[in-house]
Homo-oligomer: A and B are copies of this chain.
Amino acid sequence: MVAQKLRVGIAGLGRMGKRHAINFHELTARANVVAASTPDHNEREWAAENLQGVQIFQDYDEMLEKADLEAVVIASITAVHAEQALKAIKKGLHVLCEKPLSIDVEVAQSVVSAYEQSLKTYPQQKVMCAFSRRFDASYREAHARVEKGEFGSPVLFRSQTADLYDSSGFFVEYAKTSGGIFVDCSIHDIDLMLWFLGENRKIKSLQAVGVCAVHPGLEASNDRDNAIATVEFEGGKIAALYCSRMMAAGQEDTSEIICEKGSVRVNLQVRKNHVEIHDSHGARRELPQHYYERFREAFITEAYEFTACCLDNIPPPISLQSSVKAVSIGQALQRSLISGEKIYFDGRAIKN
């Protein structure tokens, strides 16, 4: 008897789409990429060359209609995430959607509702937002240790996403549709914050300040290139976030969970690999240059585990509702960043 392989379609073959396609196609034994869709001609050419035996579509709807799919991986532009997810959900397909579901919380929430509705018809359907850091081995070890109570209760979650400086103007262009640095960059830290401090934990207040230090063009989109925030939860937990588009040495994505009796930190000593050099610049090591260099293994694990949860009918590793909550917190932080106001919650303002 030959084990069934999950029949996957990839929507979008940009930077992330290509990676998901390769990961599912070549490195996920239990999955078969059978189709991919992209409106971009060059991306379809890339697929023809690199995705052997895969049907290529120009149109997402056509792929859904014609390809024999069990699951879709949505890696298109953010603007169509929700729409594509909704269509796939309605057909009963499993969905792995790149983050964020939407930069509009209402829209994001509508995907959750559609999924909840759909589960009545397709009780084994899995829909999950792709928060890759939850699949990183180091974050998982940190989380397991904290969950086990190794250090007592967590008190402070401190985390940052800090991108390498890019002089091409990319960040300014990108800010026009990204939803802002807290929705785009910090969304990962926010997701981790919920994972470590509790997805159902209510927020009491949050606040952010920031500057445009090296990308003045961001002002026009109500965005900043460096920002810091504090978040206050009920139950005696606090969080401090930092996001930046200005790092000189590489990607510096770090987290600390400070608990009553100890702390665990992930990647505080940022490094690309096991190499260290001693020369006239001192003792030095290189940093990863972008998030994928840091998190490639996590993406592969994500593909593997999403596939397993679909095939084996086990719960998705990340709850869809928490992904909407993350967007909602990101947006509130972005509002505070721009308005300068601290935001207090009475339990309604933010979806707690």
Contact = CB atoms under 8 A, between A and B. Distances in A.
Contacts of A232: 209
A163 to B, nearest CB: 13
B285 A226 contact: no
A153 B275 CA distance: 18
B207 A273 contact: no
Interface residues of A, number: 80
A340 B205 contact: yes
Contacts of A193: none
A341 to B, nearest CB: 7
A194 interface: no
A121 interface: no
Contacts of A228: 156, 158, 230, 238, 240
A27 B268 CA distance: 30
A29 B27 contact: yes
A145 interface: yes
Copies of this subunit: 4
B156 A226 contact: yes
A81 to B, nearest CB: 28
A173 B207 CA distance: 32
A347 interface: no
A230 B231 CA distance: 11
Given A236-B212, A238-B210, A269 B266 contact: no
17 contacts: A25-B29, A27-B27, A142-B275, A156-B226, A156-B242, A205-B209, A209-B238, A249-B280, A250-B282, A263-B277, A264-B276, A266-B275, A267-B274, A282-B285, A282-B286, A282-B287, A284-B284
Given A240-B240, A265-B277, 11 more contacts: A2-B53, A141-B273, A209-B230, A230-B230, A247-B278, A249-B278, A249-B279, A262-B278, A263-B278, A264-B275, A281-B281
